[in-house]
Amino acid sequence: MTTMSELSRRAFLKRLGYLTAAGVANPVTINLMGMAEAAAQTATDYKALVCVFFDGGNDQANTLIPIDSKNYRTYKDVRQSIAIDQSKVLPLIPSSSLANGLKWGFHPNLERLNSLFHLKKLAVLQNVGTLIQPTSLDEFNKKTVPLPNMLFSHSTQTKIWQSTSSAAFKEGWGGKIGDLILNQNSQAMFSCVSTANNSLFLTGHKTVPLNIVSDGIIPIPSAQENARLYGSKECAQALKELITSSRDNIMENHINEVTLRSIDAESTMSSALKSAGELKTQFSANNSLAEQLEVVAKLIKSRGHFGIKRQVFFVSLDGFDTHSSLLSRHGKQMSLVDDALASFYEATEELNMTDSVTTFTASDFGRTFSSNGDGSDHGWGSHHMIMGGAVNGRDFYGKSPEIGLNTAEDTGQGRMLPTTSIDQYSATLAKWFGVPNSDLSLIAPNIRNFNNQDLGFMRSQ
């Protein structure tokens, strides 16, 4: 076990901050005496949504590549030095053929995900992005319809992706789902869990994400006998006195209460993880996304200890802002994604939870189809993957884009105008999760503007 003397002060404060932030915003008392009751309430209909966010804007044109002769030739002519050799692309053979002879393939480093696609455990959603309502290129150019704020901006587009809102960025759609499911979970604090620091995606009106770190929960010295902080019993004792003493100041007392609740949360989670035992599935070291998903898998394995029926998770991987060295940098990212997601799916198989866990990808935006010489620039629409046993896999969903420049979806430099909205994406996932149709507009406020509110990539439950 990691001891406090082995930790840097910065790491300790960072992790303490994660736990405290969760307690400040969501003062849920962890009732350790209720653990046996919670375990007895183990859900028979457990479901989890896992959002995998690609920070920086994933290059969709080198993730999903046209391989039919006509469209690959266009791809190669436009992308030039950043194009991937056709012979290396992994063909995707869908259950239903696409229009106009379009055929897709995966990046060469997505070998394991390619296999999951053909096993019908993975689907691809084409050209999805931030939209307020269906928008044509003419309407975009003339600005005759409302458009999302600050297109092509990392920070704003990330917030819109995570909140489905173009204005107020206070609540995310994962957190809104959390608001609707809190009453199904005995331990509400564990409804929404993030391994990626504070997540807008998981922040709801009532729900606040529990932030954890990918290498586990670190015990915070409190009332343990012989506890040490930075190798010192005196420091541990000082911390204990600091957080247990009564204060005259109301705010100081509240902070102490929050810290104690955070320690209880750490104790509850650590106990649950220890009781659940190790996974047999192997996750690669030196892959931060794999490390995060391993923790998610362990928490899913521990679900009975929390009395949980529904959970939403958020993990992320940075490094996708490939303005330069795209081929090498993006190739490394694809290897990390392939390894992490495939291992996570194998873990759900080990847990016999494949039908209960759905994993999906998201990102700031797509990128330009055209090359800037050595990379690609900020775009709009992108392609994303949905993985799990409940997915209608081995198929493509949404409208296929026309490959090339100056197309009906090209807003400039090959920035794709989305033909599917994140509201439709989120509503389809929320419906599978158990959100009734009458509440979908709470999750996806623009959904009423779109005729197709269920994209079909999830099996009916």
9, pLDDT greater than 60: no
183, pLDDT greater than 90: no
For residue 188, give both structure tokens: 């509400």
Count Cβ atoms within 10 A of the Cβ of residue 248 and give its class: 0-12 exposed, 13-18 middle, 19 or more buried.
Answer: exposed
- Segment 412-425 shows an average pLDDT of 98
19 confidence band (pLDDT: 50, 70, 90): very low
Q: In sequence order, what are the beta bridge partners of 52?
A: 315, 361
396 secondary structure, DSSP code: E
Q: pLDDT tens-digit profile of 123-158?
A: 999 999 999 999 999 999 999 999 999 999 999 999
254, pLDDT greater than 60: no
Q: Please give the Cα distance from 441 to 424 (Å, whole number).
A: 10
7 confidence band (pLDDT: 50, 70, 90): very low
Q: In sequence order, what are the beta bridge partners of 123?
A: 386
Q: Please, which residues have CB within 8 angstroms of residue 390's CB and are 6 or more apart in sequence?
A: 354, 355, 356, 358, 432, 458, 459, 461
172, pLDDT greater than 80: yes
Distance of CA 280 to the CA centre of its chain: 24
- Segment 403-419 shows an average pLDDT of 98
> Any idea which of 11-15, 203-207, 308-312 has the lowest mean pLDDT?
11-15
Question: Is residue 351 left, alpha or beta, with left meaning phi > 0 and alpha meaning psi from -120 to 50?
Answer: alpha
Per residue in 88-118, is it b (16+ CB within 10 Å) or e — as a string? ebbebebeeeeeeebbbbbbbbbebbbebbb
Q: pLDDT tens-digit profile of 82-98?
A: 999 999 999 999 999 99
Which residue from 80, 352, 299 is spatially nearest to 187, judged by alpha carbons? 299
108, pLDDT greater than 60: yes
265, pLDDT greater than 60: yes
1, pLDDT greater than 70: no
279, pLDDT greater than 50: yes
Which H or E run includes 312? strand 310-317
Residues belonging to the chain: 461
Q: How many CB atoms lie within 10 A of CB 379?
A: 28
Which sequence spans correspond to the domains of the chain? 4-33+48-449
231 confidence band (pLDDT: 50, 70, 90): low
Task: Output the pLDDT for position 239.
Answer: 64
Q: pLDDT tens-digit profile of 21-74?
A: 444 334 333 332 233 333 333 336 899 999 999 999 999 999 999 999 999 999
168 confidence band (pLDDT: 50, 70, 90): low
For residue 385, give both structure tokens: 């993957």
Q: What angle do CA 298, 301, 307 make, to 5 degrees?
A: 120
How high does pLDDT run on average in the chain?
86
Fold exhibited by the domain 4-33+48-449: Alkaline Phosphatase, subunit A (3.40.720)
Q: Please give the Cα distance from 127 to 407 (Å, whole number).
A: 14
Q: Please give the Cα distance from 434 to 177 (Å, whole number).
A: 9
437 confidence band (pLDDT: 50, 70, 90): very high
Task: Output the pLDDT for position 207.
Answer: 86
Q: Please give the Cα distance from 245 to 253 (Å, whole number).
A: 8
As a whole number of Å, the end-to-end CA separation of the chain is 42
* More confident call, 422 vs 32: 422
Task: Output the pLDDT for position 33.
Answer: 28
458, pLDDT greater than 80: yes
- Segment 163-185 shows an average pLDDT of 85
Per residue in 319-355, is it b (16+ CB within 10 Å) or e — as a string? ebbbbeebbebbbebbbbbbbbbbbbbbbbeebebbe
In this structure, the strands spanning 90-91 and 382-387 are unpaired
Highest mean pLDDT among 177-186, 197-206, 363-372: 363-372
Residue 137: C-alpha distances to residues 100, 402, 406, 418 (Å): 21, 13, 10, 10
Residue 303: C-alpha distances to residues 33, 40, 280, 311, 419 (Å): 17, 11, 17, 9, 37
For residue 235, give both structure tokens: 């420091």
Torsion, Cα of 191, 165, 122, 410 (10° steps): -170
**CA dihedral sign of residues 87, 92, 97, 103:** negative
Q: Please give the Cα distance from 364 to 3 (Å, whole number).
A: 38
- Segment 434-438 shows an average pLDDT of 95
Count Cβ atoms within 10 A of the Cβ of residue 438 and give its class: 0-12 exposed, 13-18 middle, 19 or more buried.
Answer: exposed
Which H or E run includes 118? helix 111-118
For residue 201, give both structure tokens: 């995606």
Task: Output the pLDDT for position 252.
Answer: 66
Percent of the chain topping pLDDT 90? 67
Task: Output the pLDDT for position 161.
Answer: 95
Task: Output the pLDDT for position 258.
Answer: 56
